[in-house]
Amino acid sequence: MTTTSPDRAPGARSAWRSWRRSRPFWGGLLVTLGALEILASVRAPLPVILHVGPQGLASYLVPLLLLVCGVLLLANPSQRLFYSVVAMLLALGSWLTSNLGGFVVGLLLSLIGACLAFAWTPRRGPSRPARSVRDQAGPVRDQAGPARDQAGPARDQAGPARDQTDPVN
């Protein structure tokens, strides 16, 4: 029996967590599990289901391509939109080619996983309130007068602020 040091386990756990969060993990996992279930239902020794000729090839090809899409969702998250759309189409195609999509279970797993992968967005750093252009510019200096803030009215140091509603001023 081997024991791991306490300081190594949190590092491995946080590395796993950061890897998992940097890709559509659950979507890719569900697509992969759905593909394996469809493939298992095709390989099942059921005497009622008969696969001959091109139909037999499609019943193996669709779940294998679905499996590749699931693995690629995990390996290459930048192309998740393409892989998830292809996985959705393949899952829907498995209804016709592969024993009703693996007796509907594989079809549903793959569709839910493809939808999760399509909706996943990568994390961007910690969220901060966005600064407006006015906040970034800082105080503005007029050529004729002292510094003033862009958000407030210009004030003359010699006298009170002018009322903007008075037409005489």
Q: Give yes or no for a contact between 101 and 94, defined as CB atoms under 8 angstroms apart.
A: yes
**96 domain residue, yes or no:** yes
* Local structure of 62: helix, strand or coil: helix
Q: What is the pLDDT of residue 66?
A: 96
C-alpha separations of 43 from 3, 37, 46, 102, 126 in Å: 41, 10, 9, 10, 47
Q: Is residue 10 part of a domain?
A: no
Q: What is the pTM of this model?
A: 0.66
How many distinct structural domains can be found in the chain? 1
**Domain span including residue 72:** 18-119
Is residue 59 one of the residues assigned to a domain? yes
Dump pLDDT digits (tens) for 24-40: 999 999 999 999 999 98
Whether residue 45 is contained in a domain is answered as yes
Residue that wins the pLDDT comparison between 65 and 3: 65
Query: Is the residue at 50 inside a domain?
Result: yes
Asked if residue 11 is part of any domain, the answer here is no
Q: How confident is the model at residue 74 (pLDDT cuts 50, 70, 90)?
A: very high
